[in-house]
Chains A and B, each alone.
Chain A
Amino acid sequence: MPKIKPPVRTPHIDMTPMVDLFSVLLIFLLLTASFRPQEAAVITTPQSVSEKTAPDADLMTIFISKDGKVYFNIDNGKDTSTHFRSKLLEKIGEQYKITFTKAEIAKFGTMSSFGLPVKDLKKWLNTKETKEKDKLQTGIPMDSTDNQLAWWVREARLTNVGAEVAIKGDADTDYKLVKKVMDLLQENKVNKFNLVTNLQKQEVTLKDLPSSGK
């Protein structure tokens, strides 16, 4: 009598613990990832073949939106104990004869880009509702009588001497506004700037050379 072998059953591994582990890992990564602070305006940068990346820290950024509003941002340096933003706010306060409370300075230290005249700063820092806050952001004035952007740039450079300047302009902004910002920077002895762009590779090789018919 032949032996009747029991039917071979494929081993089933219970995957539930593995799924549990993945969920724990995911939650850990989500909590430890720092969120990018919401920028004041939506800006679509133009495209370029440049592959250089912007420096992470010691960078001040001037945003220029499509409708011509100018925003400004500066980070707290590689080591956040340098508190560049708080020092900058104090200096601007001295310049414009506005005193900011410690709470307002601390709050400013944690925020990111802003675009409003200095007189509205106190109100903006104390408003809690985001919609109200956004309404106050009318852009940093750049008129010749009250060139606040020039003050922000100058004081920022004095606060953080090695900071680089980046210009993030929308592709459809009028060039003359960007030129005004660049002229302002050149007057403050900044001759090297980084223009923020999207990467779009363009391969041009020897075979793309037009035939020299001339």
Chain B
Amino acid sequence: MILFSGKKGKVVFIAALTLIGIFILCSLGFASEGGGHGGADGSQRLWDLGARFLNFAILVIILFVVIKKTDVKDFFSGRRAEIGQKFEDLKKERDAAEGRFRKLEDELKAFETKKKEIIQQFEAEGVAEKKKIIAEAEERARQILEQAGLTIQREIQAAKDRLAMEMVEAAAQRAQGIIEKEITDSDQDQLVNEFIERVEKLH
């Protein structure tokens, strides 16, 4: 029992027990088979079994030696540390990603706020521009109406003047026609005499 103390001893002990167990089980199997056929070739089979067992034992020993030489425990402990480190890294990455996510979320909120502000500003500017355009249009309409009023007044005055001119022309034509028809030699004499009197007054 002292030989099998410690961690290493336990492993050797378990391996030895396993081999003995396998050997017993194999012997029982062959014994039951040999009872059925008689004892003619029983020793031959036993030898075959022993060779196989030996073969298997050598394989187990080789495996044991190889595993021992290659430090499987260190490998698995290293692997575990590596996985733990990787897990830690992934956790850090996850934390960083979460941080970035929160940052982006904050930025998105800020962007949304900014967007609302811009939209509100544009809406306010649009309303102001609309008011300005309406005011300008109203002013322009007022000017057009005023101009139209002045134009109408001018046209009316021009029409009045034109009518007056036509009336004067017609009256003058009519007067000339009457005078041409009615003027006599005595009228001419009177006109000449008046002319002479006016010339004499110029002396």
**Bind each other:** no
Q: Tell me the A residues contacting B by CB distance below 8 Å.
A: none
Q: Tell me the B residues contacting A by CB distance below 8 Å.
A: none
